Structure 1
Amino acid sequence: MKWLVSVCCLVPLLVLASAAGKQVGRPLRDRRHIDETLRLATDEPSAEFSAAMKKLLNIYHTAIKPMETAYKYNEMRQHQVSDGEITSKPMVLFLGPWSVGKSSMINYLLGLHSSTQELYTGAEPTTSEYTVVMHGDKFRSVEGIVMAADSSRSFSSLEKFGQGFLEKLVGIEMPHKLLERVSFVDTPGIIENRKQQERGYPYNEVCQWFIDRADLIFLVFDPTKLDVGGELEMLFKQMKGRESQIRIILNKADNLERQDLMRVYGALFWSMAPLINVTEPPRVYVSSFWPQDYAADTSRDLFMREEISLLEDLNEVIENQLENKIAFIRQHAIRVRIHALLVDRYLHTYNERLGWFSDPYEVTHDIVSDPDKYYIFKSILAKTNISKFDLPDKEAYQDFFGVNTLSAFKQLSQHCSWSGGCLLEKIEKAITEELPALLSSVGGSSAGPAKAAAAAAAPPAPPPLPGTCEGPGCEEKPKNRWRKQ
């Protein structure tokens, strides 16, 4: 496979070299389709969105967080959920080799070309930092140490990666309609021919932190950088389980003739398909995401349809932000509940095995080192409606109880009070009743007379964009609850 990738890259390299001069003097592309596809003309979040987010925070603080605290779940998962993370905007993560156009793509989406706010780009490796582009009242740069210290943001847990990483983290704030709805993260490029380079911080762990919190992952390539090395393979392993959020992009496509583009597309497709562990082949978007107009004698209509399709994916993430947050908190609550049930079972077994003359350390070590001997995990599956695929690794509890004394915890039956109720009952009610009800309330929409009258009074819609779908066979896209209707 690697020889196929290498052969397919030879012709594009020559074509790109000759096409480099063609970019100079190209007219700028019309960007109206970006604003229209992402619907950036509207302003504030709706009252429904604000009320649902407030209710979600209340459920988390009253039903989930007390269980987290009681059983030290954050030390187990190392994924602390804060108010800033719950209320944060969707995050779009840009990954890929160096100089494939990640920063240029952000500049293009935000219209920063030839402005003072433009992210620096170049043919050489230019991005050595993790750059978070987010909304602010004015343009300013925020140092990583400030971002991590601000509890209102969702980056406070990045402090665990040390000062060496925080020096490589920078935030850029600017007023922009798109940034009111989403944040972009530009990452250092993958350099496969320097696998052992010293970055000064745990690169894979940092990438995992952003991957875990990303709502959409743009994996960007260009025709000259299709090789798959150790660093990229590791990233795909880290993205396991998040295949639905990955969008593979073949950038700078208008620099190739159609025949060369077909060869490069095939090489990229077959090199990526084995790395994505899904039955369906990965979707590859082919276009050129930069401000210049497409090169002459290229597949302009195809590139525009591909670009609009990718923008619709981004818009869907914005529209489903609230539903995704509720689903994320419910999944988090399920994991917290499983952790509490397991600790309770460990503690129950410990109390049964501990005798008058027993050594507490030896009893704990015996139970933690071989939980199957005491049917700890099997008993959880037998007595509760928990899937075996949701159970954490047994080795993780060896580390957990190596730091936290087993006898220091209380059993679930002891976490009850007359006024506050029981922690287990609260979190189970949140999982089975409150969060599904909240999801249903924001998911269902009925078109009443007021909405119909507003639609009738609205100005006529603009003509359809190239590559969009209209007519009887096309379904109406859901309204964005983020926006005030």
Structure 2
Amino acid sequence: MFIHCQNTGDASGSALRDRSHIENMLEVATEPSTEVSGAIKKLLNIYHKAIKPMEDAFKYNELRQHEVTDGEITSKPMVLFLGPWSVGKSSMINYLLGLHGTSQELYTGAEPTTSEYTVIMHGDKFRTIEGIVMAADSSRSFSPLEKFGQGFLERFVGIEMSHKLLERVTFVDTPGIIENRKQQERGYPYNEVCQWFIDRADLIFLVFDPTKLDVGGELEMLFRQMKGRESQIRLILNKADSLSTQDLMRVYGALFWSMAPLINVTEPPRVYVSSFWPFDYAVDTSRDLFMKEEISLLEDLNQVIENQIENKIAFIRQHAIRVRIHALLVDRYLQTYHEKLGWFGDPHEVFQDIVNDPDKYYIFKSILAKTNVSKFDLPDKEAYQDFFGVNPVSHFKQLSQLCGWSGGCLLEKIERAISHELPSLLSGVGKNSDPPAPAKCEERPKNRWRRQ
């Protein structure tokens, strides 16, 4: 959302840029693949047969608070727009969808204009959907958002429109970061809501402009929440044609200097420099550079769309690994409890001692002794104090008891899904993918998602 700094006249009188490269790069005219829909059905079947029963048996969702719904598995790739207020997030969405000058255009302005989380998605016709309706629809992926309360749902809105690009991707516009505002003044748990969207985003565009490069507490918290998702983050320096080339180099350096310490990875973050709105670049600016940067960003976006099913399978497999580890830990707590509980011991005191000091009973070390469990996948020990505080030990059975005559054991099912079924589905998608296009003279960028 922004008023362009460079132009002194009415922006609506400026020449519009040609958008044909966007249509071509994002393959807007391409029909959705039947291969993807088939793989999604198989993925749903694996989830319900092998993973969901283990989730339910050990109440995993009460530990992680990340419930995987059918809508989340079948949903399109999600692109999340974050950044300070009025840096151009809404204008960038308008530009990508070609909404400028239409009745469907997202409102933009120099003041903080987006106070809602706005989901722009495909539908048969243009309509606006209230947040409470979005959350109540179990066929969508947003039903878990009900837990954030009425205060959030009043600031959550969906926009449906018939658009070819939205058949392949969903955009989420977010309220701008305002560093001098306390979280409670927003009326809902801002950081928790951001975490929910960050966890589900396939690509995160973190947008800045030359006037808003300061790093405050709210932005630092966002970066902490994105820890582990660095490969999905793309930094965007927007409104780049409002600066001279010399000033642009200084601002780019300042942005890089501010952001690098917050993204704790060996490889520096990718920063795209351009002006993402429909009007022509300002005169005497680096037009060729801006267009190359824009095309690179579109290639990034298209790779995420192309790799939709691979990303979904990887996400569900990672989720299954966490569910399995949780089940193994709860099983170990139960086993230790039954071993230590004597004839005259107080059951509550015995179990409380185990939960408060799991290291004394080698709870976590015994799980790490299993060759296919990584210490980096283990949850925090403190989380189980809260977990067992609301879920008494009597509510659970040990894994050895969760077996049926015909269905097999829950542990065997989830291990088979992790080790064989999901990797097999992933390799099957790779084999059925379209053949590579004929080689061209120029070098193509390396696809950072697809397995090389």
Give the deviation of 1:23 after TM superposition: 3.9
Residue of 471, 474, 480 corresponding to 2:441:
471
1:169 aligned to 2:156? yes
Contact 2:116–2:155, Cα closer than 8 Å, also in 1: yes
Change over 3 Å in CA distance of 1:477–1:232 after alignment to 2: closer
Are 1:30 and 2:5 counterparts? no
Q: In structure 1, what residue type is equivalent to 2:299?
A: E
Matches of 1:90 and 1:236, distance apart in 2: 21
Which of the residues 137, 142, 165 maps onto 1:155?
Answer: 142
For each residue in 1:306-335, what CA deviation from the matched residue of structure 2 results, as whole angstroms up to 9, or x when unmatched?
001000100000000000000111001100
Q: CA-to-partner distance for each residue in 1:335-379, whole Å, 9 max, x for gaps?
A: 000000000000000111112211111011011000111111111
- 2 CA distance for matches of 1:65 and 1:347? 21
Deviations 1:103-141 (A, max 9, x none): 000000001001111000000110000000010000000
Q: Which has the larger radius of gyration?
A: 1
Paired position in structure 2 for 1:106: 93
Q: Does the Cα contact within 8 Å between 2:135 and 2:143 map onto a contact in 1?
A: yes
Counterparts of 1:35-434 in structure 2, within 5 Å, are: 35-46=23-34, 48-195=35-182, 198-434=185-421
1:317 partner amino acid = V
1:98–1:117 CA distance, 2 compared to 1 (3 A): same
Separation in 2, partners of 1:107, 1:342 = 48
Q: Is the 8 A contact 2:6 2:241 kept in 1?
A: no
Segment of structure 1 superposing worse, 384-393 or 298-307: 384-393
Q: How has the CA–CA distance of structure 1 residues 200 and 41 changed in structure 2, closer, same or farther, with 3 Å as cutoff?
A: same
Distance apart, 1:72 and its partner CA = 0.5
The code of the aligned residue for 2:115 comes to: S
| CA-to-aligned-CA distance 1:366-418 (integer Å, 9 cap, x gap) | 11000111111111111342011111100000000000011221000000111
Deviates more, 1:295-304 or 1:143-152: 295-304
- The worse-fitting range, judged by mean Cα deviation, of 178-187 and 376-385 is 376-385
**What SS does structure 2 have at the residue aligned with 1:228?**
coil
How far did residue 474 of structure 1 move?
4.3
Structure 2 CA distance for partners of 1:101 and 1:400, relative to 1, 3 Å: same
Q: Report 1 or 2 for greater relative contact order, CA contacts < 8 Å, sequence distance ≥ 6.
A: 1
Amino acid at match of 1:123: A
Counterpart contact for 1:334–1:431, Cα < 8 Å: yes
SS at match of 2:141: coil
Letter paired with 2:370: K
Q: Secondary structure at the match of 2:220?
A: helix
8 Å Cα contact 1:195-1:230 kept in structure 2: no
Aligned partners of 2:285 and 2:210: how far apart in 1?
A: 15
3-state SS, counterpart of residue 201 of structure 1 = coil
Amino acid aligned to 1:318: I
Q: Distance in 2 between matches of 1:309 and 1:238?
A: 26
Q: CA RMSD in A?
A: 2.0
Q: CA deviation at 1:196?
A: 6.0
Amino acid at match of 1:220: V
Q: Percent identity?
A: 81
- Stretches (4+) displaced over 6 A: 475-478
Closer, same or farther in 2 for the Cα pair 1:72/1:36, shift >3 Å? same
Residue 26 of structure 1 and its aligned partner are, at CA, apart by 1.4
| Distance (Å, rounded) in 2 between the aligned partners of 1:97 and 1:472 | 37
Contact 2:32 2:168 in 1 (8 A): no
The alignment status of 1:442 with 2:429, answered yes or no, reads yes
Residues 178 and 472 (structure 1), Cα distance of their counterparts in 2 relative to 1, 3 Å cut: closer
SS in structure 2 at match of 1:274 = coil
Alpha-carbon distance in structure 2 between the residues aligned to 1:146 and 1:24? 35
The worse-fitting range, judged by mean Cα deviation, of 276-285 and 307-316 is 276-285
Distance (Å, rounded) in 2 between the aligned partners of 1:251 and 1:475: 22
Secondary structure at the aligned position of 2:9 is classed as helix
Most deviating of 187-196 and 91-100: 187-196
Aligned residues: 446
Secondary structure of the 1:285 match is: strand
Which runs of 5 or more structure 2 residues have no equivalent in the other structure? none
Q: Is the 8 A contact 1:132 1:183 kept in 2?
A: yes
* SS of structure 2 residue aligned to 1:108: helix
Q: How far 1:21 moved relative to its partner? A: 3.0
Q: Distance in 2 between matches of 1:104 and 1:342?
A: 48
**CA offset at residue 263 of structure 1?**
1.1
| TM-score, normalised with respect to structure 2 | 0.95
5+ residue gaps, structure 1, are 1-15, 457-468, 481-485
CA contact under 8 A between 1:347 and 1:407: conserved in structure 2? no
Change (3 A) 1:219 1:20: farther
TM-superposed deviation, 1:43: 1.5
